[in-house]
Structure 1
Amino acid sequence: MIRVKKIENQEELEQAFAIRTIVFVEEQACPVDEEFDGFDEESVHFIAYIDGKPVGTSRYRTTEKGVKLERFAVLKESRGKGTGKRLVQTALSQISASFEPGTLLYLHAQLDAMPLYARYNFQKIGEQFEEAGIQHFKMEKVLEG
C-alpha cells in the first residue's frame, strides 16, 4: 500500500534527501549543488512509503510566479506502481487547501514524466529546454475553485 504524507521531521526529510540523491544525483548525474539548491527550507515536502519503506518524494514552494512543484522522485524499484501519481495528488490537495483559486501552478517536467502531469491538467508551455543536463518542458495550470 502506498502512503504519502507531508514531511514533519528531520528523519523524514533525510529520507527524502536520500531518495533525491539516488534518483537525481546518482541515476541522472545531476550535480549535487543543483539538486540541493537552497530552496529546501522554504519548501513543503512530501514522502511516499510502500509497506513502510520510503520510496518517493516531492516538494513545492511559492515563487514570484505562483506555486512551483518540484523534485518528484521515485526509486527505480518502486516505479510504475502509482507512487508518482499519489505524490502529485497529495501535493495538489495540499496546495488546493492552502492557496486561492486562480493561483498559477507550474513545474519543469522531464519528458518521460509529462504524461503524468498532463493527467492533472498541466499544459505544456513554450519550448523544450535543458536543466541539469536533462531535457524538460515547462508545464502549468491554474488552480481551480
Structure 2
Amino acid sequence: MEVKIVSNDNQLQEAFSIRKKVFVEEQQVPLEEEIDQYEDEAVHFLLYDQNLPIGAGRFRPVDGFGKVERICVLEDHRKSGSGKAIMDKIEEYGKREGYKKLKLNAQTHAIPFYNKLGYEIVSEEFLDAGIPHRTMIKKI
C-alpha cells in the first residue's frame, strides 16, 4: 500500500469517487455536503493498493490546527491497516508543514480507531450530516 498526495485532476476525481462510495452511497450523506466549498484549499491524499485507489482523506488548516477530514477506505479493503496508512501520511505531512496539533471530527463508531492513533476526545457528541461525531485532537 502507498499513500500519495494528490497532484492532478485525475487523482482528485479518484479521491472523490472513493468518498462518494463510502459517504454518499454507504452512509447516505448528501453529495452537496460531502463535496464541499473547502475542496480547493485542502491537500488531498489517495491510498493505493497495487495501483488501485482504495482510500482517501484530506488535510486543511483550520484555526491553527491541521484538520484531518474525509478519511475513508473502500469496504473490501478495511481492517487491513489502510486507514492507519492514510493517517500516518497525513500526520507526516502536518509535521512537515509545522503543525503541532491535529484535529478531526470522528464518527462515533470510529473513535476507537482514532484513540489507538493517539487522538483524544475534546467535545460532546454532535451531529454532522445526521451522523453522531465527536471532535478529537492529537499533539504531533
- TM-score normalised according to structure 2 size: 0.95
| From 104, 116, 119, the counterpart of 1:119 | 116
Q: Which amino acid aligns with 1:56?
A: G
Task: Give me the whole-angstrom Cα distance separating, in 2, the residues matched to 1:5 and 1:105.
Answer: 19
Question: What residue is the counterpart of 1:108 in the other structure?
Answer: 105
Matched, 1:33 2:35: no
Residues 57-91 of structure 1: per-residue CA shift (max 9 Å, x gap): 00010012411100001001111111101000000
Q: How does 1:1-145 map to 2 (within 5 A)?
A: 2-100=1-99, 103-143=100-140
Task: Give me the whole-angstrom Cα distance separating, in 2, the residues matched to 1:112 and 1:3.
Answer: 25
Task: Give me the whole-angstrom Cα distance separating, in 1, the residues matched to 2:88 and 2:50.
Answer: 19
Task: Give me the whole-angstrom Cα distance separating, in 1, the residues matched to 2:17 and 2:42.
Answer: 17
Task: Give me the whole-angstrom Cα distance separating, in 1, the residues matched to 2:5 and 2:64.
Answer: 23
Task: Give me the whole-angstrom Cα distance separating, in 2, the residues matched to 1:10 and 1:4.
Answer: 16
> How far off its partner does 1:104 sit?
2.9
Q: Which amino acid aligns with 2:109?
A: D
Task: Give me the whole-angstrom Cα distance separating, in 2, the residues matched to 1:132 and 1:24.
Answer: 10
Task: Give me the whole-angstrom Cα distance separating, in 2, the residues matched to 1:99 and 1:121.
Answer: 18
When the two structures are aligned, how many residues end up with a matched partner?
A: 140
Which is further off, 88-97 or 62-71? 62-71
Displaced runs of 4 or more, over 6 A: none
CA RMSD across the alignment? 1.1
Which is further off, 86-95 or 103-112? 103-112
Which is further off, 104-113 or 11-20? 104-113
Structure 1 gap segments, 5+ residues each: none
> How far off its partner does 1:124 sit?
0.6
Structure 2 gap segments, 5+ residues each: none
